[in-house]
Amino acid sequence: MNISDHEKKKDQLLDRIAPKEYTQELTEIYSQESDQMIPQTLSPYFIFSLCNEWFGISVKSLKEVVNSRSIHSIPHRSNEILLGTVNIEGQFKLVVSIKKILCKSEKNNSRNNDITEKRMVVLKQEEQNWVIIPEDILGIRYINLEEIQNNPLSMSNNNQSFLRGIIYIENKHAGIIDEDFLFQSLKKSIA
Amino acid sequence: MKKDKDNSNPNISLIELFQEELKLQLHDFDELLKKLLVTGENEFAFDQIIRCAHSIKGAAKLINLDLVVLISNAIEVLFRAYNEKIVSLADSHLATLFDCSKLLQILVQSSSSELKKNLENQNKQFIKLSSELEQFLSDGYIEKKKNASSSLIENNKIENFLSNLKIEVKVLIEGISHLRADFENQEILEEMTLVSENIKKIGEGINLPIVIQLGEALETCFRAAFNQQLIWTQGHMDLLAESIGFLQHLSECNAYGMQSWLTKHEKGIEAIACVILAISKEASSIPAKKKEKKDDQKIEKDDVDNELTTESFFYDSAMLDLFYGELEQRVIELNQGILLLEEQSNDPKVLESLMRAAHSLKGAARIVDLNLISQLAHSLEDFFTSLQNNPTEIQEDQINELFNAVDLFTRLSQIPCNNIRAWIKDHFVQIENVITSLSNMAENPKKKIIPSIEKKQLPKSTSKNFIKLQKDLVSTKDLSIKKQLKKDSYLRVSAVNLNRLMGLAGESLVESRWLVPFSESLISIRREQNTLSSNFNALYEEVSGEGLYSGIKDRVSYLKQQLQNSQIKLAEKLQELELFIRRQSNLSDRLYSEVINSRMRPLADGIEAFPRLVRDLAKQLKKKVQLIIEGKNTTVDREILEKLEAPLNHLLRNAVDHGIESPSERRAAGKNEVGTIRLTAYHKAGTLIIKVSDDGRGVDLEALRQKLIDKGFVSSVIAERLNESELLEFMFLPGFSTSKEVTEVSGRGIGLNVVQNMVHEVGGWIKTYLDGGLVIQLQLPLTLSVIRALLIEISEEIYAIPLAKINRVLMLSKEKINFIENNHYFHSEGKNIALIYAYQLLNLPSSQKSPNSFPVIVINKGLNEYGLIVDKFISEKEIVIQELDPMLGKVQDILGGAFMEDGSPLLIIDVEDIFMSIENKILKNHKEDFNDLLEKKKNKKILIIDDSSTVRETESILLQKEGYQVFPAVNGLEGWKILQLENYDLIITDIDMPQMNGIELIKKIRSEPKFEGLPILVISYKENEKDKIEAIEAGANFYLTKNSFKDEGLIAIVNELIEIKGKNIK
């Protein structure tokens, strides 16, 4: 057998199509295992804090956490929600302050406070990115969606519509953010 | 082709690699062929051979060995056909295939440098073998059919027929049930047509007239429905279902019982077939909704349909895709070749390549069963062959005919693949005409084309078709260009990807810059270490004098040794780091500039269509023109390249239509009959120059001057004074055309304006001059993505202003700033220049500083100069423009962003926007004491002198809203008279007016002492710098163009002029 024969045999061996039953079997195994590993009611959420309150947002909306960097304000556009623009991987992304939207008290609403935070979080919605500046980050936690409680009446009105509900996690109450609602109102606020 | 040129001498190692590959593959190929010789048909071997041939084809394509590609492709296709059982393997095939293998073997054995030459020598042999292979392919089809019908004994034949029928009937039954639900499903209808045709055919196979009749009836019916001539009713359905029922019964008979069943039911079937046929024929005589030519072709129709549909089960979209790819490629080759042929007549090399292109097309069309197209290609090939054998001067109408054929291919390539067969049917007559005249030409290459009989039947003459085709071409121009882009060895990368890439490359550059300060910090650590070491040494010297315990001595010298080692290590590592930094920054610099350059493309990419355009136009106008393109490889920013397309199109059209004279005129003027248009591109001083020049009649300056006067663009006095370049500039005004009549080609007066707009848009400029013919030179920036800019600081953040937009910069001391009417001014070069704080314009917080001198950037728009006060000048820098987040949309006053070396963002100021903001700002400042003003305004009277009532009206309404009293006058003379009667606070006047023009009026006013201090504002169409200067010199205070005056801007200026009435008059 010469080399090209070997090659051929190798190709035949490696390129051969797996038998149908084999594929089927594997498919079944995988589909079962994934069911067992993560019960459907558990979903990963990114937990962070703003104005001494905790919030969670689905990791589907999380792109990355980066070190803080300089923000350039945008003439005619910057306001208490739109802080400006930053360089994320060489592209301009918008930095927004969601305190105004999420926090019930407005005690921590000055712009300078935001910038002193150490990290920035890039959120994504399809192709669009938003950069927010959390005060503290707890990390990613699995949350049982069935345990989400309705907003207690004691919470102020102004952020209720942005939250799906409240969850109790690691001794903290965290508001679960309705990301569609949040992004929509952010979009409105920059238009 | 460009690619050929680039790789005409592929380096030897590539060829060696190819030979290596070829050797391996040929070895397999031979082995497999031998195997086939023994085993006969063998699917595994077929697959292997297809793979071999495919690899050879791929490798040959890489180094542009067309002949090898040709033959390996033929082999691949043939074996695919074996595999699909469309053609059966015969011994004679194997012999030819062995020949192919031997032929290719020659290439393996020849030395790599000789390979190309050997290939050329074997040229004929290659083409012969590949056409033999193709012949097998087409023979195979026929063979197959014969087998199906004649070579078997009678009973088998009937059995065969019945089983075939069964298959077809099954399809019919399925189809008809679908049709009941969805009457007009075109796909099913088409399939049904094909199936019934097949039934007709298998009926013919065993000569059963009744089946043939029924098949034909069904076919006609489905086709009529497909063409939307037949409106379905339930009755139709029932008829069809009944006839299909018959066929089903028939197919369920056995060979012996069939005849008796037939005799029993013959009458019934015949009747139903007749009914269906009658209904459908009646329907078919109604002109089709979509396709009107349909019935003119009734006679040939059966023929065509046979051709178009018999073997059409063998095609799939993948095959068609391949065909399209081939088609596009060949069409370009044909177009280029025919153009060359026209110039150089019968260059054997050109003919050779044309023949090959036509040949490949023929083969490709045959594979996907487009026989008519294959015929068309065949007739082209024949013609080229006849030219080859019988070299004669090619005639113009022959060239036209050739282009007609190529145009048909071009259009074909733009038809979506599911419509392709319908399209061919629709254009049957047209295609047939072209084929006929091509074959006439091939037979009698010297004679003029004799219009064929079909042509007489068809009222549209070739030339008309030609123009129509051309229009189609123009309208689908964009499409074809897009397609061409795809084909080169370029990849299509989405803009998003490219931007991301650019971002990452920039980021990596930023990261690499971080290393330098890091290494510096390490160096300072080393310095500390050195100090430490010398301190330690000093201590050691001091202590060692006094007798120490030997134990301590040893430990101290050990420590000294350790310190030394660590020093050496640190130095080594630092050196390594230094080298790494150098490599890294080199690498990321290169990566970055490469990414930026990926936006650049050779000019050739954007101008492929032009030679053909010029040629067609020239023919249409009966002129002789050659287009010379110089600097095809000049690189151009892809954005600019795209934008250049339309302007160049216009310039070339103009040159052919207006510039180049008719051959007789040229002869009379002692010029070469053939006019020359030159398209030249080159880089000069960091800009891209594109020049379109012709050696035609140029421009009659005097006629142009007269025309300007006639059209009322300028007064005769001014017209006399305009020099060449000023006169030529008028050609770029909208609505201006030197041509006496508007033709299809040009003369609408929009063309040159389009050119001007595009050039201005990208920040370039146009120079026009006469040099023999007319020369139009476009000077454009090399790229739109990199600009030089001045970095400045505004309220503690960094902004950039493009250098190209800055007039000058200066530090202005506090004392020089004057404050008038809420606005700051400074005096410079005899003018008062308004000063505006940048932070105010941009709505940013003030920086709270009050220095003694201010950095000022002077920008100007026409004669209006403004000074922008910023906080700090930083530096000049080359920056790469990045888009801001698209969610923002356009941000007022901001063009885009860029990143500093440390990655921090800066924004680029949009100077055009800034002008608007400034005008608004000045207005706002005025409005601050609006009430005051309004009081004053009520007493202010303005005289508007303009011959256009629209302009008068617009201006009046605007100014009256502001509270002014407005009085109109229709020309200078009337204005002058009115002025004598009453006092006015402001004159607004046009320049071009009958009786007395604006300049004369201004001079008259200024010469009269009693009008001293009366402000004059000129509003004119003329944007020319010279006119402005003339007006200002005559004594006007301000000059606005009608095109550019914005409502608020006008008001701001009027307010200003009235306020400072008398302050600025000489």
Sign of CA dihedral A154, A159, A164, A166: negative
Backbone angles phi, psi at B796, to 5 degrees: 65, 15
> SS3 sequence, B611-634?
HHHHHHHHHHCCCCEEEEEECCCC
Structure confidence at residue B305 (pLDDT) = 43
Nearest Cα to Cα of residue A53 among A181, A191, A188, A177: A177
- Mind listing the pLDDT tens digit of every residue in chain A (191 residues)? 566 788 888 777 787 788 888 888 888 888 776 655 556 678 899 999 888 888 999 999 999 999 888 999 999 888 888 999 999 988 899 999 888 778 765 554 444 444 446 789 999 988 889 999 998 888 899 988 888 887 665 454 555 578 888 888 888 888 888 888 888 888 888 87
**Tokens in use for B1005?**
């006013």
Q: At what angle do helices B371-389 and B298-309 cross, to 10 degrees?
A: 90
Structure confidence at residue B151 (pLDDT) = 44
Q: In angstroms, rounded to a whole number, what is the distance separating the alpha carbons of residues B398 and B445? A: 9
CA distance B508 to chain A (A): 9
B267 residue type, one letter: K
Residue to test with chain B: of A92, A95, A96, most B Cβ within 10 A: A92
Is residue B308 a contact partner of residue B372, using CB atoms and an 8 Å limit? yes
B81 residue type, one letter: A
Provide the H-helix boundaries in B662-729. 663-668, 701-710, 716-721, 724-729
**Tokens in use for B663?**
């051959």
First to last CA, chain A: 71
**Tokens in use for A188?**
């409105």
Q: In angstroms, rounded to a whole number, what is the distance separating the alpha carbons of residues B1055 and B1060? A: 9
Residue B504 sits at the chain A interface (C-beta within 8 Å): yes
Strand partners, B793: B798, B872
- The beta-carbon neighbor of A75 closest among B27, B889, B894 is B894
Averaged pLDDT in 10-residue chunks for chain B of 1066 residues: 43 74 85 81 81 81 79 83 76 82 82 77 81 76 54 63 79 77 74 82 77 81 76 70 78 72 75 74 55 39 42 53 77 81 74 82 78 83 80 75 82 74 78 81 57 40 47 43 46 76 83 85 91 86 70 81 90 92 90 83 84 86 88 86 86 86 88 90 86 86 81 76 79 64 47 80 82 87 82 93 88 82 78 86 80 87 82 88 86 90 89 84 63 58 82 78 80 81 83 81 83 83 78 83 68 78 44
Q: In angstroms, rounded to a whole number, what is the distance separating the alpha carbons of residues A184 and A176? A: 16
Q: Which residues of A touch B507 (CB under 8 A)?
A: 87, 89-90
Which residue of chain A has the CA closest to B799? A72
- The beta-carbon neighbor of B507 closest among A86, A89, A128 is A89
**Tokens in use for B842?**
């941009």
Q: In angstroms, rounded to a whole number, what is the distance separating the alpha carbons of residues B640 and B603? A: 10
Nearest Cα to Cα of residue B652 among B623, B672, B673: B623
Structure confidence at residue B178 (pLDDT) = 76
Which residue of chain A has the CA closest to B505? A90
**Tokens in use for B988?**
């607004």
Please give the model's pTM, rounded to 2 decimal places: 0.46
B880 residue type, one letter: V
- The beta-carbon neighbor of B897 closest among A76, A92, A190 is A92
Q: Which helix (H) or strand (E) holds B821?
A: none
Other CB atoms within a 10 A radius of the CB of residue A157 amount to 9
Residue B843 sits at the chain A interface (C-beta within 8 Å): yes
Residue B846 sits at the chain A interface (C-beta within 8 Å): no
Per-residue CA distances from B103 to B1, B593, B615 (Å): 26, 47, 41
Is residue B176 a contact partner of residue B168, using CB atoms and an 8 Å limit? no
Per-residue CA distances from A8 to A3, B31, B73 (Å): 9, 13, 22
Q: Which residues of A touch B887 (CB under 8 A)?
A: 94, 128, 187, 190
**Tokens in use for B908?**
């680029």
**Tokens in use for B868?**
């922008």
Per-residue CA distances from B12 to B6, B8, B25, B779 (Å): 14, 11, 20, 42
Q: Which residues of B touch A89 (CB under 8 A)?
A: 500, 503-504, 507
- The beta-carbon neighbor of B892 closest among A76, A128, A129 is A76
Nearest Cα to Cα of residue A85 among A76, A74, A75, A77: A74
- Residue B28 to residue A87, Cβ atoms within 8 A: no
- Residue B885 to residue A85, Cβ atoms within 8 A: yes
Q: Which residues of B touch A86 (CB under 8 A)?
A: 905
B988 residue type, one letter: I
- Residue B888 to residue A70, Cβ atoms within 8 A: no
- Residue A73 to residue B844, Cβ atoms within 8 A: yes
Is residue B28 a contact partner of residue B34, using CB atoms and an 8 Å limit? no
Residue to test with chain A: of B51, B494, B888, B891, most A Cβ within 10 A: B888
Contacting B with CB below 8 Å, chain A residues are 4, 8, 69-77, 85-87, 89-94, 127-129, 187, 190-191
Structure confidence at residue A53 (pLDDT) = 85
Phi/psi region, residue B712 (left: phi>0; alpha: psi -120 to 50; beta: rest), is left
Structure confidence at residue B233 (pLDDT) = 66
Q: Which residues of B touch A93 (CB under 8 A)?
A: 885
Sign of CA dihedral B861, B863, B864, B867: positive
B50 residue type, one letter: I
Nearest Cα to Cα of residue B823 among B814, B836, B838, B813: B836
- Residue A87 to residue B903, Cβ atoms within 8 A: yes
Q: Which residues of B touch A73 (CB under 8 A)?
A: 797, 844
